[in-house]
Amino acid sequence: MSGTQRKNIRKGTNVSVVQKNHQRSGELTQGIVKDLLTNSANHPHGIKVRLESGIVGRVKQIH
Protein backbone atom coordinates (compact mmCIF):
# COMPACT_ATOMS: atom_id res chain seq x y z
CA MET A 1 0.00 0.00 0.00
CA SER A 2 1.06 3.53 -0.71
CA GLY A 3 1.76 6.10 2.01
CA THR A 4 0.78 8.84 -0.44
CA GLN A 5 -2.97 8.14 -0.15
CA ARG A 6 -4.90 9.13 2.98
CA LYS A 7 -7.43 6.29 2.61
CA ASN A 8 -4.65 3.72 3.29
CA ILE A 9 -3.76 5.20 6.70
CA ARG A 10 -5.85 5.12 9.87
CA LYS A 11 -5.24 5.77 13.56
CA GLY A 12 -3.48 2.75 15.03
CA THR A 13 -1.74 1.81 11.76
CA ASN A 14 1.91 0.68 12.05
CA VAL A 15 3.99 2.85 9.68
CA SER A 16 7.49 4.10 8.94
CA VAL A 17 7.89 7.86 8.52
CA VAL A 18 10.66 10.22 7.49
CA GLN A 19 11.04 13.26 9.72
CA LYS A 20 11.68 16.73 8.23
CA ASN A 21 15.29 16.82 9.47
CA HIS A 22 15.97 13.32 8.02
CA GLN A 23 14.62 13.93 4.51
CA ARG A 24 18.10 14.12 2.95
CA SER A 25 19.35 10.90 4.56
CA GLY A 26 16.00 9.12 4.22
CA GLU A 27 16.24 7.72 7.76
CA LEU A 28 12.93 6.08 8.71
CA THR A 29 11.26 5.99 12.12
CA GLN A 30 8.68 3.30 12.87
CA GLY A 31 5.61 3.85 15.04
CA ILE A 32 1.85 3.80 15.46
CA VAL A 33 -0.28 6.59 13.93
CA LYS A 34 -1.95 8.85 16.50
CA ASP A 35 -3.19 11.70 14.23
CA LEU A 36 -3.40 12.37 10.50
CA LEU A 37 -2.17 15.90 9.78
CA THR A 38 -2.62 16.05 5.99
CA ASN A 39 -6.20 16.91 5.04
CA SER A 40 -6.00 16.25 1.29
CA ALA A 41 -6.82 12.80 -0.17
CA ASN A 42 -3.23 12.32 -1.36
CA HIS A 43 0.19 13.94 -1.22
CA PRO A 44 3.14 13.12 -3.52
CA HIS A 45 5.68 12.99 -0.66
CA GLY A 46 3.50 11.00 1.75
CA ILE A 47 0.71 11.77 4.19
CA LYS A 48 1.92 13.72 7.23
CA VAL A 49 1.10 12.02 10.54
CA ARG A 50 1.88 12.29 14.25
CA LEU A 51 2.99 9.05 15.86
CA GLU A 52 2.06 8.02 19.42
CA SER A 53 5.63 8.93 20.42
CA GLY A 54 4.98 12.54 19.31
CA ILE A 55 7.18 12.34 16.20
CA VAL A 56 5.78 14.07 13.10
CA GLY A 57 6.72 12.86 9.63
CA ARG A 58 5.54 11.75 6.22
CA VAL A 59 4.52 8.11 5.72
CA LYS A 60 6.93 6.17 3.49
CA GLN A 61 5.91 2.59 4.36
CA ILE A 62 2.80 0.92 5.78
CA HIS A 63 3.41 -2.33 7.69
Q: Please say whether the beta carbons of 24 and 36 come within 8 A.
A: no
Is residue 7 very low, low, confident or very high in pLDDT (cuts 50, 70, 90)?
A: very high
The confidence score (pLDDT) of residue 32 equals 98
Rounded to an integer, what distance in angstroms lies between the CA atom of residue 7 and that of residue 21? 26
**pLDDT surpassing 80 at residue 10:** yes
The confidence score (pLDDT) of residue 2 equals 84
Q: How many CB atoms lie within 10 A of CB 35?
A: 11
Rounded to an integer, what distance in angstroms lies between the CA atom of residue 38 and that of residue 27? 21
Q: What domains are defined for the chain?
A: 6-62 (2.30.30)
Is residue 1 very low, low, confident or very high in pLDDT (cuts 50, 70, 90)?
A: confident
